[in-house]
Chain A
Amino acid sequence: MRNKHTSRGSLVQRLTLAPYSVWASFFIIVPLIFVAYYAFTDSEFNFTFENITRFFTATSSVTENGVDKEVHTYLVIFGRSLKLAVISTIICLIMGYPIAYIISRASARAQKIMITLIMIPMWMNFLIRTYAWMTILQDTGILNGILESLGLRPVHIIGTEAAVVIGMVYDYFPYMILPIYSVMAKMDIRLIEAARDLGCNSVGVLRRVIWPLSLPGVISGINMVLIPSISTFYISQKLGNGMFYLIGDAIEGQYIANNLHFAAAIAFILMVILLVCMALLQRATSRKTAV
């Protein structure tokens, strides 16, 4: 339903909101304007599209299977980022959804404990978490130590895409669980009973009631994992041995090389692409849920 009369609120109401408005505009809007401003200017601060076009046209030569070829540098990097981020998000969803469901059906006490356990890793700096994974995944690391002591063959993971995905999944896993869990915890248990009463077995209940009603949580979970993992940096440098240069690394690289305008342009393009993706996702699911 559309609300034609949006109440404007009393003066007092608007005044009490003022500190937040100021805060929001200062720390959210203004920085965004700066990013856009840098993205569309050159080092002399003259208006230019050059940074944007460079993102789409810059090429470099790579050697793949012994063959030299020219590729679009940043499009390849973006594609690689997208691929790893999507894989990580899917893994987070597949693992996180059942866990969120199990937690939401546990006793209040057990819920508290499990949520705390899931959040504890988030209290540690992600650089430290990434280093921890390095020591686990290294060729002479903890994982291979365990495998060898069990008499199994060691595996080579560090420096592969798998290692980068493991790092991303580990870092962003809680962001998938928490929104899904909060939607499921609020779900009326009687809806599940009603579905069982009306002829659904466990699979039917999940497919026809729990899943559609948890979609808002799933969407925000996807948003919260996909967006940071697409723009992540450092994880790939450390766990991927620098073999998988990602878009976040590209931004960081340009920034460190004091190339602020191009760094801003990459960030700007990434932002636009993500906004479009999210809008499409939102529309697709809202059409499905609101009949």
Chain B
Amino acid sequence: MRKIIELKNITKAYDGQVVLDNINLDIYDNEFLTLLGPSGCGKTTTLRLIGGFESADAGDVIFLGENINDVPPYKRNVNTVFQRYALFPHLNVFENVAFPLREKKVPRDEIEQKVQDMLALVALTGFENRSVTSLSGGQQQRVAIARALISRPKVLLLDEPLAALDLKLRKDMQAELKKIQKATGITFVFVTHDQEEALSMSDTVVVMSEGRIQQIGTPVDIYNEPENAFVADFIGESNILDGVMLSDYRVAFSGHVFDCVDSGFSKREAVDVVVRPEDVDIVAEDKGMLKGVVTSVTFLGVHYEIIVDINGFKWMIQTTDFVDVDEHIGLYIEPDAIHIMKKSEYSGLYGDYSSFSNELDELSDAESESEE
């Protein structure tokens, strides 16, 4: 695969506040890459650097092997779908989409043809003469995409484009964006804070936090093999526990020794252990590897989400079997459900559900807080 964009040792600070800290990232041809992270993690700044709206304090932006640090946005073969679309309110749908072509002095009938093709691609045929301010959020979104794609850029940058849409529409647009990306073969760089969105749409996910890249990988890698406690917590739900590697394939946590599939750690190395809520089986108390008391149960349709207190640490478990509050249960964990991570600066910050809020555990919350 061909590298389209390379970010090399990018560092950027605003007023002494570091927003990007030595970012290195390769973006390949025809890939759907997502920058994922909480607000303030630097994902939008990274996007704006590629678009040319920001310049790095240090480091290089390489486009097809050429350094484009000093190339202004209008000369970059990259277009952006802005967060709130940024459609031109004084122009109708047709003129918004035709905007880049008019700037390039493309002949009139060619513009007509290209705009019609684009509007067909985003399912807006017949909307040519509508005012953009009269469109719904989803339609405005489509105009923004058509306008950004009409010049056939090498890369399309999308800055949280679905954030303003309601859930149903967001799901539809996710599928549609994916379809458009496949149909056009253009590289998409997508920014979101929604991990579900990132997992379902991307070829590659880049997890960012505090201006640094935490992990780059496929959605499956990111979910199953998180690099550290931050990634494990941010992507999906995770129980993250302090553990000790006794030897290869043997780890101790929560007062029990488990078999696992990880190796390569030094003997008695302290580690973070991740167990996904859906990977824990509930068994009778006397048959469990771990024993605990159910403190809350929430019905979520597909499954129940229960919080179990095991020696003071609150686990989240997803199960289709009904258990009741205050029930004593046993937990059984398969070796391949256990994922071992190196200790990091994020260790101990995430993965305990004692502050997990819903109506049912308000009481226990109040208790645990008063204990501190």
Contacts and interface: CB of A to CB of B under 8 A. Distances in A.
A193 B53 contact: yes
Interface string A171-201: 0000000000000000010110111111111
A291 B84 contact: no
B64 to A, nearest CB: 18
Contact of B86 (A193, A204, A289): A193
Contact of B103 (A188, A193, A199): A199
B181 interface: no
B80 interface: yes
B89 interface: yes
B72 A196 contact: yes
Contacts, number: 71
Given A193-B82, A194-B80, A198-B100, A213 B89 contact: yes
Contact of A190 (B86, B91, B104): B86
B99 interface: yes
A111 B100 CA distance: 32
Interface in A241-291: 289-291
A190 B88 contact: no
B79 A198 contact: yes
A208 B80 contact: no
Given A197-B80, A199-B151, A212 B90 contact: yes
A209 interface: yes
B92 A197 contact: no
B185 interface: no
B131 interface: yes
A209 B84 CA distance: 17
Contacts of A194: 80, 82, 86-88
A191 B53 CA distance: 13
Nearest to B144: A194
B74 A201 contact: yes
A290 B102 CA distance: 19
B51 A199 contact: no
A289 B92 CA distance: 10
A249 B215 CA distance: 78
Query: Contact residue range for chain A?
Result: 20 to 34
Nearest to B73: A196
Interface string B1-34: 0000000000000000000000000000000000
Contacts of B134: 1
B73 A191 contact: no
B95 interface: yes
A188 B89 CA distance: 10
A85 to B, nearest CB: 29
Contacts of A290: 90, 131
B142 interface: no
A190 B82 contact: yes
B147 interface: yes
A209 to B, nearest CB: 6
Contacts of A195: 88, 99
A209 B88 contact: yes
B131 A191 contact: no
A212 B129 CA distance: 18
A1 B130 CA distance: 12
A239 to B, nearest CB: 40
Contact of B88 (A191, A193, A197): A191
Contacts of B83: 190
B90 A289 contact: yes
Task: Give the one of A1, A193, A199, A290 with max B CB within 10 A.
Answer: A199
B148 to A, nearest CB: 8
A198 B75 CA distance: 9
A248 B178 CA distance: 68
Nearest to A204: B103
Contacts of A213: 88-90
Given A194-B88, A291-B131, A208 B103 contact: yes
A200 B88 CA distance: 13
A201 B73 CA distance: 9
B317 to A, nearest CB: 44
Contacts of A291: 90-92, 95, 129, 131
B45 to A, nearest CB: 14
A196 B104 CA distance: 13
Interface in B60-113: 72-74, 78-80, 82-84, 86-92, 95, 99-100, 102-104
Contacts of B78: 197
Given A193-B73, A291-B131, A198 B90 contact: no
8 contacts: A190-B86, A194-B82, A194-B86, A195-B88, A196-B53, A199-B103, A199-B151, A204-B103
Given A190-B86, A199-B104, A291-B90, 6 more contacts: A1-B134, A191-B89, A193-B73, A195-B99, A196-B74, A291-B131
Interface of B: 51-53, 72-74, 78-80, 82-84, 86-92, 95, 99-100, 102-104, 129, 131, 134, 147-148, 151
User: Which 6 pairs between the two chains have the least Cβ-Cβ distance?
Assistant: A190-B86, A194-B86, A198-B100, A199-B103, A196-B73, A291-B92
